[in-house]
A and B are shown apart, each in its own frame.
Chain A
Amino acid sequence: MSALEAVLLTIITASTPLLLAAVGELVVERSGVLNLGVEGMMIMGAVTGFAAAYTTGSAAIGVAAAVGTGVAMALLFAFLTQTLAANQMATGLALTLFGTGLSGLIGQTFTGLPGVKLGALHIPGLSNLPLIGPVLFAQDVLVYASVAITAGVAWTFTRTRAGLVIRAVGSNHHSAHALGYDVAAVRYRCIAFGGVCAGLAGGYLSLVYTPQWIENMTAGRGWIALALVVFATWTPIRVAVGAYLFGTVWIMGLYVQGIGVAIPSQFLSSLPYLVTIAALLAISGNRILTRVNTPACIGQTFVPDR
């Protein structure tokens, strides 16, 4: 395996969980809901994914458990914010604190145990091509899933009625309600979708990235995903660009440190944030696109008259 190949592979592995979490949150925010619980859903996905895979010996069951947990957490959030009309910021923060604590508790017995790694796919012929074979055609299924989900979300928003309804609900929930759309039902589904993605992202960490359970192993990735959505001005393709840029700079920083270049490590670890923000600000310079994509009702509680 060449050095370049190794770098590219680690970049993909580092970027995939960010992309998964961010694209899920993008759908949630496009429907007008701000779920600050991404980190909490991710870490719960990571611990339950690991536990299920370790107990059953099947990484696939681990992935399913991670998704299930993400959805369960998301539905809790949806129930509190949509049915009971609780404040979204407070509920989201609580979800993150709750997830971080509970995952530590569940994970106690799993700390230090060898995990089950989700295997890479092997596509006869393509996987054996030099460089692009291992990088593009021998990844695990979640990498392809993250790309497919991103493309699917982009297509849904631009081409389908479902996407139009989600955008409408996020843009003006009063009007959507007046036209007869069930605002809460649309948001429930979007929040659940965000849970699926955050669960997958967490599962990816404990089943692929480092196949073991380490407390707080999400290390703020949920928050990075949240920031990426905003800086990418709520467009799926930009979220993908941002996630991969972040992953690239991050991994390059690690390599630079590894070969002993005398740059303070604190600077290197802050670099991905700076570069991503700068790059996304540069590409989001188009104010018309920004205002079209910004969900105007984000974070606002909606209770219809009866």
Chain B
Amino acid sequence: MGTTDHGGRCGYLLEAEEIVKRFGDFTANDRVSLRVRPGEIHALLGENGAGKSTLVKIIYGSLQPSAGRLRWGGEALTVPNPAAARRLGIGMVFQHFSLFDALTVVENIALAVPGPFDRDALAERVARVSEEYGLPLDPTALVADLSVGVRQRIEVVRCLLQEPRLLIMDEPTAVLTPQEARQLFVTLRRLAHEGCAVLYISHRLEEVRELCHHATILRQGRVVADVDPRSETVSSLARLMVGADVQSVNPAAREAPGPPALTVTGLSLPAGGPFGVPLRDVSLQVRSGEVTAVAGVAGNGQSELFEVLSGERPAPTPESVTIAGQPCGERDITERRRLGAAFVPEERLGHSAVPGFGLSENVLLTRHAANDHLVRTGFVSGGRVRALADRISTRFDVRFSRRDQEAGALSGGNLQKFVVGRELDRNPRVLVINQPTWGVDAGAAALIRQALVDRARDGAAVLVISQDLDEIFEIADRIAVISRGALSDSYPAHTIDRERIGMLMAGARAAGPGPERDART
């Protein structure tokens, strides 16, 4: 059967009827219904926390529904565990890959393929299937050495070996370069053409319009719409997802940029841990008044770069990192803050904020040495700290259920607004922020992006490290690309397009789609 449009009167492959899933008081899925036909690429759209992942985990047997029914080819069905789902022909590619770094490609695949354990025979099958679908893999490579794009290929091939009738893909393109994403779409269209249904989770609306035949939109655990994405616009889909218009960032008038306030010169650094990435001769200038973005696929040295900039790891020489003209390579994070720099790491819980601490205590963690008179002769002024926490919460619209709540009890978006606000409230001259809106709802993301642009227009040098190209094009004045620990030159944002960024992301690997291994060992 070929790709099927709405009009086709064929039977459904999978039907989910009135699925309810509760975690304690929280209802993640509230009477969600969904129907997927064979050969259909069906999008499941929604913001973070809308219940998309919960629903597909129920279909895949990782979670059991609190109420509701599943049907498979018209017959009632229970999926007690993922192995049962795989036996039915349901394959899933996870958002956070379910791969094992320390195992080889073929071992990773063997774990999901039933039957006798014959490594050589399986390696041959892997090579054959991956070749057939244009997803080349080296079966003996160690997963830890592979780029994220190749890792996803492993997951896809692992599903293909099971000859799936339904393939679930959870945010598959979040970690891919544009070129890798296009290659994936070719594979998915081919699968659909062969009659396999694809359930495609995403919040990237452009690609859903390009790829999918049907879209079910979830908001706060409920189905709010069932549409044909090809007859919608990006903004109409966004409105359905968010339930309100999403404000776009106002770039404001831009003056001529000032002098470089943050520079990195010839910085090389060995990998920090066994799975770390070494930095190779990184040079960068971030000018006052500009937002400079570092684009790149996750795991290409972004965390390492952030650590060196913030002072969590010392640079090899004092001159490799300068802040406001001062050599800083060997200074610690507090000394860098005193020079007017501020840092927001990627991990909200456990890195930016201590989950079990109240907001005021979390304020103190980065502000204790920043001349706010929060600490005097060793004693913390509780009143001042709480007042500061309140000020930040008001200014950045942080919502909580009680004053001075523990950071861990806030939603992702609210906590991110808080930790970004904590740093912006100091009016830093230099701001370095890693993945500013990762896993944050659209409203909070818009507020944070606007605040970053505003800060730059007020004369600060802002460095944004992000995987999200939409975000980068929305806020950045200059763009550089990091790939396997090496940083490209930075280009004015209006002179570089996605195609070129994708090439830079792929680094030297852009030449051909052969099995790719990182050079790092």
Contacts and interface: CB of A to CB of B under 8 A. Distances in A.
Interface of A: 160-161, 164-165, 167-168, 171-172, 174-181, 287-288, 290-294, 296, 305-306
Interface in B94-130: 94, 96-103, 107, 110-112, 117
Given A164-B111, A294-B274, A178 B117 contact: no
Given A180-B82, A292-B142, A164 B102 contact: no
Interface size class of B (residues with CB under 8 A): 20 to 34
B275 interface: yes
Contact of A180 (B83, B94, B142): B83
Nearest to A169: B100
A98 to B, nearest CB: 31
A164 B521 contact: no
Contacts of A294: 102, 274
Given A161-B110, A180-B82, A180-B86, A306 B103 contact: no
Contact of A305 (B63, B94, B142): B63
The 4 closest A-B pairs by CB, nearest first: A180-B82, A291-B274, A161-B117, A175-B98
A306 B63 contact: yes
A74 to B, nearest CB: 25
A236 B275 CA distance: 24
A167 B112 CA distance: 14
Interface of B: 23, 61-64, 81-83, 85-86, 94, 96-103, 107, 110-112, 117, 142, 144, 274-275, 521
Contacts of A291: 102, 144, 274-275
Given A174-B98, A175-B98, 19 more contacts: A164-B103, A167-B102, A168-B100, A171-B100, A171-B101, A171-B102, A172-B99, A174-B96, A177-B62, A179-B82, A180-B81, A181-B111, A287-B274, A292-B102, A292-B142, A292-B144, A294-B102, A305-B23, A305-B63
Contacts of B64: 306
Contacts of B274: 287, 290-291, 294
A142 to B, nearest CB: 31
Contact of B82 (A171, A178, A296): A178
A168 B82 contact: no
A306 B82 CA distance: 13
A294 B103 CA distance: 11
Contacts of B275: 291
Contacts of B112: 179
Find the residue from A172, A177, A180, A291 having the highest chain B CB count within 10 A.
A180
B115 to A, nearest CB: 9
A295 to B, nearest CB: 8
B111 to A, nearest CB: 5
A170 to B, nearest CB: 9
A36 B287 CA distance: 54
B168 to A, nearest CB: 12
Contacts of B103: 164, 167-168, 171
A160 to B, nearest CB: 6
A174 B86 CA distance: 18
B101 A172 contact: yes
Contacts of A172: 98-101
Contacts of B142: 288, 292
A164 B101 contact: no
A160 B98 contact: no
A24 to B, nearest CB: 21
Contacts of A168: 100, 103, 107, 111
Contacts of A165: 111
